[in-house]
Amino acid sequence: MHPTANAYKAMVAGALLSSTGRARVSPDSHTAVFVDGHVHVYRCYDVQQVFDGAWRHVRAITAKNGLAKNFQCVLIFTESKGDKVFAELAETKNVGRWEISRTRDSSALCLRRDDDARLVLVAGRQLVSAERLEVSAYFLAQPFADGAPLDTLVTQVDRAGGVPVLPWGVGKWFGSRGRHVESRLMHSKVRLMVSDNGGRPWLWPTPRLFRTAKRQGIPVLAGTDPLPRVSEQQQAGRFGFMLKGPLSLETPAQDLKHRLLSLKCSPVQYGARVGVLNFFRNQLFMQVKRVR
Q: Give, for all 292 residues of the chain, the pLDDT tens digit.
A: 444 455 555 554 443 333 223 323 333 456 899 999 999 999 999 999 999 999 999 999 988 877 667 899 999 999 999 999 999 999 999 999 999 999 999 999 999 999 999 999 999 999 999 999 999 999 999 989 999 999 999 999 999 999 999 999 878 898 999 999 999 999 998 999 999 998 888 778 899 999 999 999 999 999 999 999 898 999 999 999 999 889 999 999 999 999 999 999 999 999 987 765 665 565 565 555 554 4
pLDDT at site 219 = 97
pLDDT at site 24 = 34
Strand partners of residue 33: 72, 243
pLDDT at site 288 = 56
Q: In what order do the strands lie in the sheet with 163-167?
A: 124-128, 134-138, 163-167, 193-197, 220-223
Beta strands 32-39; 71-77: pairing state: parallel
Q: Are 111 and 51 in contact (CB under 8 A)?
A: yes
Torsion angles phi and psi, residue 77, rounded to 5:
-70, 145
Nearest to 113 by CA among 54, 154, 192: 54
pLDDT at site 280 = 56
Q: Domain limits of the chain?
A: 5-291
pLDDT at site 46 = 97
Measured CA to CA, the distance from residue 37 to residue 34 in angstroms comes to 10
Name the burial class of residue 277, with classes exposed (0-12), middle (13-18) and buried (19+) by CB atoms within 10 angstroms of its CB. exposed
